[in-house]
Amino acid sequence: MRGKKYIVVLGLCLLTVLLIAGCGQDEKQEVQQSTVNSVSVNHFMTEKDIVQQANESAHAHFFREMVALGPEGVKAAHYSDNCIGCHSAVKMFDDPSAVLNDFFPGGKYAGQLEGISCRVCHVLETEEGIALRKEGWAVCGDCHTAQGRPKLGSAVHHPQNEMIRGFGVGEIPDIPSYKCFNMIDFSCYDCHLTNAVKHDYMVPGVTVTDDGVTQMDYKKFEEVLKQERCIGCHQIVEDTVQSVKTKQEYISKKLEELMPLYEEWGEKTGAMDPNDPRVKTFGEATTYLTYVDADASKGAHNYELAKALLEKAEEKFNELQ
């Protein structure tokens, strides 16, 4: 096992060296002399290599943190055996029958806390070297998914795939994102991995605070749009950034307005007769609101759908007043 891990890490480190080194000085000079206002791939590398970035990411840490809670903590946090189908490499590849209890002290996999590691997304031994296991939106979307169209009346969890694809729910029709169906050869990793060299999975400019609040530095985001791959469509970068900022500010404001109502009515309906029509109305408002909140992009994935969902959530909360 150690030998295989050593080979994997060595291979990834060599790949990193090649990415940093580029394809030669002539090509480097060509990029510098280009009249296109583009940013080189290396611009988005930090002092940390790909392996370090991935190992320090939330993707890698989450499974360890989940198991560290212990059985009662996991139960209180509503984690289940289903969760580890995307968070444990052992569950995904070595033993599909594994359950959470197997990873707690005394379990058959106690101490094996490999979360989303390199092998989860990559096939590591191919003729071409290292390759993605899946293609297109499925690379990320097969795990970042609500497992299909959200169910009206229930809270929604990690629906990035559904948001991008524009799955409607309840009174909201399908509103596909242009990113998914109109942008050829484009997928999640074009922004989140930035030409495969940024493996902390955060879009440049996006940070998450200790309390889980997402923040955006639009100046840094502007830099990623100056890549040649992006600027072909986003020719006036400043206008694109301003558009994204305006949309995200609108969605953020709506979420801030509606969250207190969600918490207030969550407590109220919890004490009501389940047959009270207000319970049903609150359940519908919950679906519309959490669909957007759990997506976490503040409209960047699909502004039109996010806007429609929050407007419907607001309508439902008004019915409760």
Centroid of chain to Cα 139: 11
Q: Residue 76: pLDDT above 90? A: yes
Q: Residue 57: pLDDT above 70? A: yes
- What lies within 8 Å, CB to CB, of 174 at 6+ separation is 166, 167, 168
The neighbour count for residue 176, using CB atoms within 10 Å, is: 16
Percentage of the chain modeled with pLDDT above 70? 83
Q: What pLDDT, in 10s, does the model give residues 63-74?
A: 999 999 999 999
Domain boundaries, the chain: 2-132, 144-320
Specify the pLDDT at position 147.
92
Q: What pLDDT, in 10s, does the model give residues 257-285?
A: 999 999 999 999 999 999 999 999 999 99
Distance CA 148, CA 129 (A): 33
Q: What is the pTM of this model?
A: 0.81
Q: What pLDDT, in 10s, does the model give residues 217-262?
A: 888 888 878 877 788 778 899 999 999 999 999 999 999 999 999 9
On the CB side of 161, CA atoms within 13 Å amount to 17
Q: Residue 41: pLDDT above 50? A: no
Mean pLDDT of the chain: 84
Specify the pLDDT at position 31.
34
The neighbour count for residue 263, using CB atoms within 10 Å, is: 10
Q: Residue 38: pLDDT above 80? A: no
Specify the pLDDT at position 211.
67
Specify the pLDDT at position 201.
86
Could you say which DSSP state residue 124 is in? E
**Which range scores top for mean pLDDT: 25-39, 146-160, 170-184, 214-228?**
146-160
Q: Which residue stretches of 34-186 are H helix?
A: 50-55, 58-68, 70-76, 84-87, 89, 118-121, 138-141, 160-165, 178-181
Q: What pLDDT, in 10s, does the model give residues 88-130?
A: 999 999 999 999 999 999 999 999 999 999 999 999 877 777 8
Distance CA 262, CA 162 (A): 22
